């Protein structure tokens, strides 16, 4: 598959250095991971997101964790992450706000029809507003239907791109735009909704633990290939709208884990567990 | 019924050369007969009157093996989004909806056009709310005039069959590659039976070739890596604005380029009867059939009148219409909606548009008796 990205000899002298670098030292082939960051050409670079953006960090880690980047199609949605994808060397579909899981359902099915013998991973990466609010019906119905897709929520607990409005994922009491008296209902338990909706693999993780995040992304994608839908929630705090210093993002994550208001957790179906055990066995020879 | 072996043939052969046999079908059944021969990969549906039966029949085609995938989605917005995704993945797709479903899905239609997708969608038009109505009306067409999609309007069940198959041939031309809405007035067409002719069901369109698309699809088989919005979103600079504007212009140009394919596959944008008449009726959809009856009544009364049947609402055949009505001193535009969107299109296309009478118009479930048209004409010429 690396051959697909080879530059035609006639164009070698005019191809951008970034493209050549991706071919020579990129993650294609799937043998790179978060522990290799800094040693290879990443899929995401020079994104326009804010300094200290938790979402940008999570996205960087997620893209480095993809097991099959050359055959991965990301379906996104409106929000801050949509500003990063034009800077990412991966197929990205940004259709509208909230329809990402419906688009991904049709896409995955069409790819399965056209390429029955090739693994094509369809991964939804969208914000908390897109996933838990405006698109929740389509997100949950994709799970009910057991669509073979992975849904990743970049949870910054706000509509950040529109200027910091309260979302269903904001904590109760959070004072944000459109919740001037404080949000009056609790953070939606999307991981538990996902589990109850029949997802084969569910995880809530943070960028403070990159290895755990990578494991969740890989497990989610593997589960989606072979068993059913999967959901991964990544807490990605927003310094701009929550008004903390850009260098405190990881501290913020850790303090929320410590006080129990953001709980890292994992739900694995028996079938998915069998799959992971089998793959571990193969890997360990 | 089991799947029969089907041979792939050119659209020309399927539509024009294959020997046809007579059948007696409702519009819903004609939709299914067209899709049976369209070599569609995948379809997604959602129930709404009067469209439900057609999509149920597509489901039966899937069960028999004529389509490879099919499901009932959670709402029409999700239907149109899923179809969009399947088409981005390189599949040939079909869906349909009606009235309120059209409006619920509205946000997706410009996305189809902007993504340059040859999606074919059958609209079986009905009233909207409020006041609520499930009855025949084509007000939703007036709301879809500016989505970038090509719009065909069927008069008869035969039209509906031929236009849906023709739509794939037109939409998939590399220089077109736009979505096509094939519209019918609900109930009048979907639920009434007409005599039609069909090519044999052991032939079907050739498999869609997504690699001939003007924009690569998202299958990770063909570089370059793509994002659907490429440079077009939220970059506040002149290059972005220019790229966005030129993309829009290209959609409009593609629509204009579709005209020669419209001529080839559905026999042109309009049809004219008695083009030299001083009184002309301009209509689309089932209003054309009512107008034909009106012509017959007028003829018996010794009054000569003509008729222009408009088949393509987008691109609107303004120049052709101007030529077809050049000698008319009175032009009537009967319509099945309260708004009068067709008469506005007609008036915007003609000079001396004081010749145009916007009406008669019926809505809310009312039928359009030919005498309504006749009386309107008599009142204008007396």
The pLDDT score that the predictor gives to residue A2 is 54
In sequence order, the 6+-apart residues with CB closer than 8 A to the CB of B99 are B48, B125, B126, B127, B128, B134, B137, B140, B186
The pLDDT score that the predictor gives to residue B234 is 59
Residue of A15, A106, A114, A148 to mutate, testing the B interface (most B Cβ within 10 Å of its Cβ) = A106
Tokens (6 digits) for B358: 């916007």
Which portions of chain A are predicted below pLDDT 50? 1
Distance from CA of B108 to the nearest CA of A (A): 8
d(CA B29, CA B201): 14
Distance from CA of B222 to the nearest CA of A (A): 7
Q: What is the largest CA-CA distance in chain A?
A: 63
| Residue in A closest to B81 by C-alpha | A103
Q: Which of B74, B220, B228 sits opposite A95 (nearest CB)?
A: B228
Residue of A78, A109, A141 to mutate, testing the B interface (most B Cβ within 10 Å of its Cβ) = A109
**DSSP, res A30:** S
Q: Which of A71, A82, A104 sits opposite B220 (nearest CB)?
A: A71
Question: Which residues in chain B have Cβ-Cβ distances shorter than 8 Å to A90?
Answer: 225
d(CA A73, CA A92): 6
B84 touches chain A (CB under 8 A): yes
Residue boundaries of the structural domains of chain A: 53-283
- Which B-chain residues 111-140 have CB contacts (< 8 A) with chain A? 111, 115
Question: Which residues in chain A have Cβ-Cβ distances shorter than 8 Å to B83?
Answer: 106
Which residue from B256, B232, B245 is spatially nearest to B319, judged by alpha carbons? B256
d(CA B294, CA B308): 13
Residue of A20, A93, A99, A110 to mutate, testing the B interface (most B Cβ within 10 Å of its Cβ) = A110
| Residue in A closest to B67 by C-alpha | A113
A96 touches chain B (CB under 8 A): yes
Distance from CA of B44 to the nearest CA of A (A): 9
Residue with structure tokens 């709208």? A241
Distance from CA of B151 to the nearest CA of A (A): 22
B225 touches chain A (CB under 8 A): yes
The pLDDT score that the predictor gives to residue A1 is 46
Subunit contact A72:B220, Cβ cutoff 8 A: yes
- Listed in sequence order, the DSSP H helices in chain A are 17-25, 54-65, 80-84, 100-114, 128, 136-144, 190-196, 210-226, 239-242, 249-258, 270-283
A114 touches chain B (CB under 8 A): yes
Its CATH class, for the domain covering A53-283, is: alpha beta
pLDDT tens, position by position, B2-57:
678 999 999 999 999 999 999 999 999 999 999 999 999 999 999 999 999 999 99
Please give the interface size between A and B, counted as residue pairs whose CB atoms are below 8 Å apart: 137
Subunit contact A138:B107, Cβ cutoff 8 A: no
Complex-level ipTM: 0.94
The pLDDT score that the predictor gives to residue A52 is 97
Q: Which residues pair with B203 in a beta bridge?
A: B7
Subunit contact B218:A94, Cβ cutoff 8 A: no
A91 touches chain B (CB under 8 A): yes
Subunit contact A107:B218, Cβ cutoff 8 A: yes
Subunit contact A96:B107, Cβ cutoff 8 A: yes
Subunit contact A110:B220, Cβ cutoff 8 A: no
Q: Which of B73, B83, B218 sits opposite A93 (nearest CB)?
A: B218
Distance from CA of A5 to the nearest CA of B (A): 7
Which residue from B349, B368, B357 is spatially nearest to B270, judged by alpha carbons? B349
Q: Which of A86, A113, A137 sits opposite B227 (nearest CB)?
A: A86
Can the peptide bond before residue B315 be classed as cis, meaning omega within 30 degrees of 0?
yes
Which residue from B229, B254, B257 is spatially nearest to B244, judged by alpha carbons? B229
- Which A-chain residues 162-201 have CB contacts (< 8 A) with chain B? none
| Residue in A closest to B228 by C-alpha | A93
A151 in Cβ contact with A239 (< 8 Å) = no
Subunit contact B78:A73, Cβ cutoff 8 A: no
B251 touches chain A (CB under 8 A): no
pLDDT tens, position by position, A40-83:
999 998 888 999 999 999 999 999 999 999 899 999 999 999 88
Q: Average pLDDT of each block of 10 consecutive residues along chain B (382 residues)?
A: 86 98 98 98 98 98 97 98 97 98 97 96 94 93 97 98 98 98 97 97 97 89 66 70 89 97 98 96 98 98 97 98 97 97 98 96 95 97 85
Q: Which of B69, B108, B228 sits opposite A109 (nearest CB)?
A: B69
In the three-class reduction of DSSP (H, G, I as helix; E, B as strand; rest coil), residue B23 is classed as strand
pTM of the model: 0.96
Residues, chain A: 285
A75 touches chain B (CB under 8 A): yes
Q: Which of B74, B115, B235 sits opposite A137 (nearest CB)?
A: B74
Q: Which domains does chain B have, with CATH numbers?
A: 7-211 (3.40.50.970), 270-381 (3.40.50.920)
d(CA A260, CA A262): 5
Residue with structure tokens 């077009």? B232
In the three-class reduction of DSSP (H, G, I as helix; E, B as strand; rest coil), residue A257 is classed as helix
Q: Which of A89, A120, A137 sits opposite B220 (nearest CB)?
A: A120
Give the strand pairing for A201-205 and A265-268. Answer: antiparallel
Which residue from B321, B333, B322 is spatially nearest to B287, judged by alpha carbons? B333
d(CA B98, CA B104): 10
The pLDDT score that the predictor gives to residue A9 is 86
A30 in Cβ contact with A74 (< 8 Å) = no
């Amino acid at each position: 598959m690396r051959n697909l990205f080879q530059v035609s000899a006639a164009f070698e002298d005019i191809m951008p250095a970034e493209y050549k670098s991706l071919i020579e030292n990129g993650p294609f082939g799937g043998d790179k991971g978060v522990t290799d960051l800094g040693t290879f050409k990443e899929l995401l670079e020079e994104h326009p997101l804010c300094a200290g953006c938790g979402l940008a960090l999570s996205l960087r880690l997620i893209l480095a964790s993809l097991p099959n980047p050359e055959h991965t199609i990301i379906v996104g949605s409106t929000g801050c992450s949509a500003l990063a994808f034009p800077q990412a060397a991966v197929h990205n579909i940004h259709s509208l706000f909230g329809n990402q899981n419906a688009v991904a359902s049709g896409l995955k099915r069409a790819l399965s029809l056209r390429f029955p013998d090739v693994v094509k991973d369809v991964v939804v990466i969208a914000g908390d507003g897109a996933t838990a609010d405006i698109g929740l019906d389509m997100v949950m119905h994709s799970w009910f239907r057991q669509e073979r897709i992975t849904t990743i929520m970049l949870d910054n607990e706000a509509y950040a791109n529109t200027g910091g409005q309260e979302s269903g994922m904001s904590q109760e009491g959070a004072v944000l735009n459109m919740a001037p008296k404080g949000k009056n209902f609790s953070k939606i338990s999307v991981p538990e909704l996902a589990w109850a909706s029949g997802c084969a693999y569910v995880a809530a993780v943070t960028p403070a633990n990159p290895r755990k995040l990578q494991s969740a992304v890989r497990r989610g994608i593997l589960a989606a290939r072979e068993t059913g839908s999967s959901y991964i929630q990544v807490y990605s705090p927003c310094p701009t709208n929550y008004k903390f210093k850009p260098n405190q993002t990881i501290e913020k994550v850790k303090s929320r884990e410590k006080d129990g208001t953001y709980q890292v957790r994992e739900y694995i179906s028996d079938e998915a567990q069998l799959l992971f055990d089998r793959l571990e066995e193969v890997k360990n020879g | 019924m089991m799947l029969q072996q089907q041979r792939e043939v050119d659209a020309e052969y399927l539509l024009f050369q294959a020997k046809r046999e007579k059948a007696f079908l409702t519009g819903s059944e004609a939709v299914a007969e067209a899709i049976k021969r369209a070599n569609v990969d995948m379809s997604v549906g959602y129930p709404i009157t009067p469209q439900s039966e057609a999509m149920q029949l597509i489901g039966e085609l899937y069960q028999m093996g004529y389509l490879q995938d099919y499901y009932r989605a959670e709402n029409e917005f999700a239907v149109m989004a899923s179809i969009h995704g399947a088409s981005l993945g390189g599949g040939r797709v079909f869906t349909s909806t009606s009235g309120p479903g059209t409006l619920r899905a509205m946000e997706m239609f410009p996305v189809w056009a902007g993504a340059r997708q040859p999606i074919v969608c059958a609209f079986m038009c009905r009233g909207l709310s409020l006041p609520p109505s499930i009855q025949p009306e084509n007000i939703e067409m007036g709301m879809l005039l500016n989505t970038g999609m090509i719009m065909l309007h069927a008069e008869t069940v035969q039209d509906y069959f031929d236009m849906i198959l023709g739509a794939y041939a037109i939409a998939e031309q590399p220089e077109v590659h736009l979505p096509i809405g094939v519209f019918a007035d609900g109930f009048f067409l979907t639920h009434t039976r007409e005599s039609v002719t069909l090519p044999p069901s052991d032939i079907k369109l050739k498999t869609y070739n997504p690699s001939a698309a003007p924009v690569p699809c998202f299958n990770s088989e063909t570089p370059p890596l793509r994002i659907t919005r490429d440079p077009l979103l939220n970059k506040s600079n002149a290059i972005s604005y220019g790229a966005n504007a030129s993309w829009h212009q290209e959609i409009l140009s593609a629509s204009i380029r579709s005209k020669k394919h419209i001529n080839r596959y559905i026999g042109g944008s309009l049809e004219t009867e008695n083009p030299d008449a001083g009184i002309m009726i301009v209509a689309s959809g089932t209003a054309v059939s009512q107008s034909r009856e009106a012509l017959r009544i007028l003829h018996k009364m010794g009054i000569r009148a003509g008729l222009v049947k408009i088949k393509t609402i987008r691109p609107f055949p303004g120049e052709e219409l101007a030529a077809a009505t050049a000698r008319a001193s009175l032009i009537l535009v009967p319509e099945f909606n309260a708004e009068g969107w067709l008469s506005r299109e007609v008036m915007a296309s003609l000079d001396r548009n004081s010749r145009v009478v916007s009406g008669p118009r019926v809505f809310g479930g009312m039928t359009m008796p030919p005498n309504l048209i006749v009386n309107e004409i008599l009142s204008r010429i007396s």
